[in-house]
Structure 1
Amino acid sequence: MAAYLEIEKDFQFEAAHYFGHPDANDLFKHIHGHSFTGKVIVRGDAQSDKGWIRDLWKIETLVKEVVEPLDHSLLNNIEGLEQPALEQIAMWIFERLSLKLPGLICVEVGRPTCGERARYCVLPDSSVT
């Protein structure tokens, strides 16, 4: 059995959005805002000689770089988020963060006041980075 460790880093941002899709509930077709929360999950080798998977401060810095354009924005105006459902936001963050963060396996984004979350995860290959 292969052993691994996972670490998580939380983040948050404030943003507005609307759903222009014809199937969307009329309530959500108007601009409205949320306090979004999220987390990234990084997997790594349990036998790392460093004693850690990744430097959490570096993860925090990378997450801030990726999430900063979303903060206090109208998400629909951001390329790739024209229909900014939670699922799309999680995928958008994952796609950008995975280019900079080896071992990233999952991004979760939620709206706590609504009790809603979406998670975008990849199935790790047999080797651990």
Structure 2
Amino acid sequence: MFELMVETSFSAAHRLKVGNKKCENLHGHNWKVQLFLSANELNKAGIVLDFKEAKRRLKKVAEPLDHSYLNELPFFKKIGPTSENIAGYLYQKLKVLFAKNKKIKINKVTVWESEGSTASYFS
């Protein structure tokens, strides 16, 4: 099996209800998002997918979050905009973009809230 990873970033603010007073205040992060794709076989060009194309799709789903207040986005009005939920949200959006290509699997989406603090959603 072969795996590739691309990443992008966005800046956004949020408030959390996790019992940590500091996190309950409005605050922002410079988020980093990593997309891990795999395939059992390489395509005719000898790759899983062109890095540029993989990154284009990742940016497409992350762009609406950039410079936003995550709590106000429709998806996060029902659930808190935690790193875990952001990873799940991005995974679901990416799943739609990769639905036609049955040979490529989304292994996971990892969201970095800060250096050393990540959450991932696995397929």
Per the normalisation by structure 2, the TM-score is 0.87
Within-5 A mapping of 1:93-108: 93-101=90-98, 102-108=104-110
Tell me how far 1:52 sits from its aligned partner: 0.6
Distance 1:81 1:89 in 2: 9
Counterpart position of 2:10? 13
User: How many angstroms apart in 2 are the aligned matches of 1:47 and 1:56?
Assistant: 13
Unaligned runs of 5+ in 2: 99-103
Q: Aligned partners of 2:37, 2:118: CA distance in 1, in Å?
A: 18
2:87 to 81, 90, 106: 90
In 2, the alpha carbon distance for the partners of 1:79 and 1:88 equals 13
Percent sequence identity is 27
Tell me which of 108, 112, 116 is aligned to 2:114.
Answer: 112
- Give the number of equivalent residue pairs: 116
**Of the two, which has the highest radius of gyration?**
1
Between the aligned partners of 1:58 and 1:7, the Cα distance in structure 2 is: 12
Gaps of 5+ in 1: 123-129
Return the alpha-carbon distance in structure 1 between the equivalents of residues 21 and 65 of structure 2: 24
Match of 1:61 among 51, 56, 60: 56
C-alpha deviation, 1:47, in angstroms: 4.5
Task: Return the letter of the residue paired with 1:26.
Answer: K
Taking a change above 3 Å as real, the CA distance of residues 26 and 105 of structure 1, as seen in their structure-2 partners, is same
RMSD of aligned Cα (Å): 1.4
Preserved contact between residue 81 and residue 92 of structure 1 (Cα < 8 Å):
no
TM-score by structure 1 length?
Answer: 0.83
